[in-house]
Amino acid sequence: MEGFMSIDIFIIILATGVRLATPFLLAALGEMFVQRSGVYNLGVEGIMMMGAFAGFFATLQQGSPLLGIIVSLAIGALMGLIMAFVSVTFKAEQGISGIGLYMFGWGLSGLLFRLYVGGVTSIDGLKPIAIPMLSDIPLIGQVLFNHNVLVYTAFLLVPLSGIILYKTSWGLNVRAVGNKPEAADTLGVSVVKIRYQCLIVGGMLAALAGAFLTIGQANMYADNITAGRGFIAIALVYFGRWSPWGILLGSLLFSMADSFQSMVQVLGINFPYELAVILPYMVTIIALAISYGRVWAPAALGKPYERGTRG
């Protein structure tokens, strides 16, 4: 236990926690925009699985992680478009539509993997990039400034999302559509267009989160590689009160608990294995329970909009 508390182990736990937060941040920030527009997409997990396979397969075929990222973004946009078409244009029940999208992504990604890959195959994924000067800062440099490009992207998207959501006219339109779609429509804002845009953006970020798991972390693809991260990302949107900074806090809370339990197992610490495995989920559930209170959800969340109706 004395070795477990050393500074080197502490740095490893923190650095691993930062890396593990990446898929949660990407998927949850995308879902935040979706829900801010008045739609909730329970298909995040399925989009992540398709993004994970698309990124992996493109990298495997061409040897280019950058191409893998581009392909995963395209697949995510397509999946978001499908969700928009079903839930916005046809006004299907959003919860059922999302579950259907999840099952579609889960089944198709597994089928394509078996057809075109067949077994465990490794790829040459993204490499860590040490930021000059910043990576040399004691403690902070090793924790924050020695990761691959998708980790940096995820964390830079937090302030960028805040700026877009609160400081731009598009962000104002998104919030208006999610809270008072009839008022936004009256002022000339297209509710359908905004919701389509948000679902496409959300799909792209969810797929990018999946791609991170295969080309930015595991360097391989496996069935159920997402392991429920998409559903956790949805929960983090609620935990974070639909705010980028709240989502960042929730993502780090879960990932640090996950990093801690992994280190406990790696070092063989005398700690119950079962408790270590469920620790991140326990922390998340407790945090959600503690943070329960005033509801900050967009007023029109989950409600299809038709012109001439109110909500």
Condensed to tens digits (0 to 9), the pLDDT of residues 90-110 reads 999 999 999 999 999 999 999
CA 82 to chain centre: 18
What number of residues does the chain have? Answer: 311
Q: What is the mean pLDDT of residues 154-167?
A: 98
200-237, pLDDT tens digit by residue? 999 999 999 999 999 999 999 998 999 999 999 999 99
Query: Which of 26-47 are b and which e, b meaning 16 or more Cβ less than 10 Å from the residue's Cβ?
Result: bbbbbbbbbbbbbbbbbbbbbb
Beta bridge partners of 292: none
Residue 217: how many CB atoms within 10 A of its CB?
19
Which residue type, as a one-letter code, is found at position 173?
N
What CATH number belongs to 2-296? Answer: 1.10.3470
Q: Using the predicted structure, report yes or no on whether residue 8 has a pLDDT greater than 80.
A: yes
How much is the CA Rg of the chain, to the nearest whole Å? 20
pLDDT recorded at residue 293: 58
Q: Are 170 and 37 in contact (CB under 8 A)?
A: no
Kindly compute the dihedral angle of the four CA atoms of residues 194, 245, 16, 143, in this order, to the nearest 10 degrees: 120
Find tokens 């608990």 and name the residue.
257
φ/ψ (deg, to 5) at 69: -65, -45
Query: Which of 107-126 are b and which e, b meaning 16 or more Cβ less than 10 Å from the residue's Cβ?
Result: eebeeebeeeeeeeeebebb
Q: Using the predicted structure, report yes or no on whether residue 295 has a pLDDT greater than 80.
A: no
Q: Give the whole-number percent of the chain exceeding pLDDT 90.
A: 77
Query: What is the rounded distance in angstroms from the CA atom of residue 31 to the CA atom of residue 50?
Result: 16
pLDDT recorded at residue 265: 76
